[in-house]
Structure formats: structure tokens, C-alpha cells
Structure 1
């Protein structure tokens, strides 16, 4: 399916009846969800409920057994898919920052656009500086990852993903490995992105943040979406006993 057929009145990301197994273990058991351009979606749920697998399937880091995932009309699991075309559309930030330790913050951000997109270095450098400013790390251009706190490294990782100018950003538990005081600075960065209209899909256990920033919350348990809704309804009027139990443990 050509991406040119996609228009912003259709979901920018759509999952339809997605099944994913690792060997005999079925991790996603028929998951469907859709995300409109500019929406912020939070996926929450207990450990092992398939959340991380779900977003890794969206940018083809994991394959799927059946179902359909489209990003701007591109069928993600089409064997003929140009993975580069997908990576240009979808940025991803992981729990571990995965920065190159021997490269500065600025160099880390510049690498992919120069190597993958073949963009001129001067142009990329300018964008990388602007992105560091955007994630509130102006003045850290020449710092190496080892000289930065976990929260600062994670913000460099966010800037690095943004350097590819994606249309959708995926965040997989990006605050899980951080100290409580650095969690906030990363969440503020994501909040800024959301306010700028970036489409964001987050796996998170930060409920206060989900309540404040998400347009829609999906609760997963044992590979299915149990319940979903806008934050107001979701947190106040959860219907399913599994959702209620989960919320009672964390709120």
C-alpha cells in the first residue's frame, strides 16, 4: 500500500487484530488500536502484558504472526517494505539510551541523518544544535555520554530520534531506568513534544504523566487490550475488574 494514499483524517498508526508469538508463547492476542495524527497515546499494564512488544512491532523491530499494522498507510509487515522509509517516519526511544560512548552528544544526534539519510553535515549540525536546545541541553554539545546524568542521556536519545524528523515517536518505558529526580526532566521534554503536535505512543508506568498528557489510555493485560479511554473516564470510571485491580495497586 503506497503511503501517498494516506491522509491526516485517517489514523496515522493503525493496528488491526495483531497476533505475535515468541515460540509457543503468544504475547499479543489480537490487538487493535488506532492513533490519529497529533495524538498522545499511553499504553499501561502489568509487566509481561505485551506493551513493549506491541510498540516494537510498530516499527518492525519485532515481526508479527498475523494481523496488520500501518503507519501513514505503509504496511509495516509487508515483506517488500522499505525499512528505511519506515524508520524515517517512526522514531523510537528505549529504556536504555544506547548512546555511542565515544561520541559527543552532538555527534550522537548527527550520526543517523548523515549516515542513513545522507544529509549534508552542516545542515544536520544546525538541526542537532536546535534539538539539543529543544530538549533543554544547550551547552552540552561537546559532552560525552559518560559526563551526563541518566536523564540527560535520555534527552540526548530523544533528540537523536527527532533528528530523523519522524512523524511518530515511540517511547518504551523511557523513564524506567532513571532516578526519580531525573524522571521529571525527561517527562517535561516529552510533554513539550506533545504540545508541539508530535504524535506520541508511550509505554509508561508514570500514571500522573499519563493522566496529564495522554489523549487516550490503553490498558493491556496478558496480551489483550482490556480497556481503553480518555484519561478522565479511564482513571475515574474503569469498568473491568483487571483494570480496577491494576489501578488500585499503583494509584
Structure 2
């Protein structure tokens, strides 16, 4: 018996005004898999994963997450986002709330869960992302890498089935990038289904089940990382990798 992939994107098109930024993208991600999307700036990568979370509406095509049709006009976006966590390049933490309070807010306010239960889980999540002892620090007292790990813990507090990561290390100092990638690697090893937009090629090579190269709104090539990085077939992929590897 075959189970349907957790995420199925079929013939997705998205335009901003007269500019078509996604031109018929299709891909599928199975439960427990990690898909890395790479490509030059402006190739539609971030727009693609924002469509998955219904942050960006799209004109043509279908996206299903756990069988939920994202473009259904009757969709309760809250229902979708209980299943899908997202971490952005900017941390978007509430500056006047501690790390612990930032992690606790959504389960209490959105899911209406009891505070004591949520608090215990929030402590555990901050320990999981190696921020034990920083629970009562405010974002301004934390490094960029620490803030990004709070943002990851905050997404995990909703107990999602899928995590989306949009260039989460792009705004970080080089020495803090490793801390965040280690956290994501651990999630992947634990079986969290992840879709990552990333410029970190070494990381994509290590953690991905499948790497997708996008350029000008289309998926040019995709393959498991060993094949993708050692023997890319398309000249555009070859040119891109030769510039960054």
C-alpha cells in the first residue's frame, strides 16, 4: 500500500502583476524527507514555499499538505498552519517577550492549551535547541543565531507535521550559522519533514533526500544530493554550482 506524499505541488504558477515568478512547478515530499531548494536570487524559491503555507496566494495549480488543498477558498488557514511551521530569514520574535514567552504564545493563544503544560514543553524545546539558561532572556540580549533557534522552537511548539525554512541562515554571522544548521540537522534526523530554501550547499549535500535547482521560475533539475552535486546534467545547474562550490 502506497501512502500519498505529505506535500504534493502540481503545476504551480504564481505571478506578481505581469511578472510570472513560478512557471509550472511540480514536486512531492514524502513524510520524513528533507527537500532542499537552491538557485539564484529571484528564481522563485521563497515564493514557492510561502505558497505552501498559504502566505502567498497562487493563480494556477494545486498544493496539498496532508491532503488539505491550500488554494481552497474555504480553507481555514489556521487549520493548515497547525500542521505547517515556518521559519524565516528574519526572526520575527516579539522584542518585549522573553524567549520562553515567545515560544509559549501560539500554543496558548491559538490552540488554547493550558499554560502549565505549554510552559513545560517550551522549556523542553529551548533545551532541545541548546538554549537552556536563556529562557528568560529577551531577544535583544541574544545573538542572531540564538534568536533564530528561539524562532525554530516557537514553530515546533505548534507540533507541526512539516517545517519550512526560508534562508534561515542568510542574515547570520558566519560563526552562528553552524548552530542553526545543527538544530535543523537534528530535526531532520528525528524524522521531521522539511522543505528548505538554502544557500548552504554543504548542508544540502548532508541532510537532503532530494535537491531541487530552480531558475527563472522553473525546476531545472532535481536529484538525490550525491548525484546532484557530483554529476549535474543541465548546463544551467552546472554553471550555478561552478560559481558557488
Q: CA RMSD in A?
A: 0.9
Distance 1:143 1:34, change over 3 A: same
**Counterpart pick for 1:181 among 167, 175, 185:** 175
1:194 equivalent in alignment to 2:173: no
2:138 aligned with 1:144: yes
Question: Alignment partner for residue 8 of structure 2, among 9, 14, 36?
Answer: 14
User: Residue 106 in 1 paired to residue 110 in 2?
Assistant: no
1:65 aligns with 2:69: no
Partner SS for 2:55: coil
Could you say what secondary structure the match of 2:153 adopts?
A: helix
Q: What secondary structure sits across from 1:86 in the alignment?
A: helix
Alignment of 1:117-128 (within 5 A): 117-128=111-122
- Equivalent residues in 2 for 1:148-227 (5 A)? 148-227=142-221
C-alpha distance in structure 1 between counterparts of 2:122 and 2:157, whole Å: 7
Contact 1:27–1:50, Cα closer than 8 Å, also in 2: yes
TM-score for both structures, normalised by structure 2:
0.99
- Alignment deviations for residues 27-52 of structure 1 (CA, whole Å, 9 cap, x no partner): 00000000000000000000000000
Name the residue aligned to 2:240.
246
- Residue 22 (structure 2) aligns with: 28
Deviation at 1:8, TM superposition (A): 7.8
Query: Alpha-carbon deviation of 1:112?
Result: 0.4
Kindly tell me the number of residue pairs found equivalent between the two proteins: 245
Unaligned runs of 5+ in 1: 1-6
Where 2:123 maps in the other structure, the secondary structure is: helix
Cα distance in 2 for residues equivalent to 1:37 and 1:127: 24
In 1, Cα distance between equivalents of 2:186 and 2:103: 19
Deviation at 1:82, TM superposition (A): 1.1
Q: How far apart are the structure 2 equivalents of 1:22 and 1:78?
A: 20
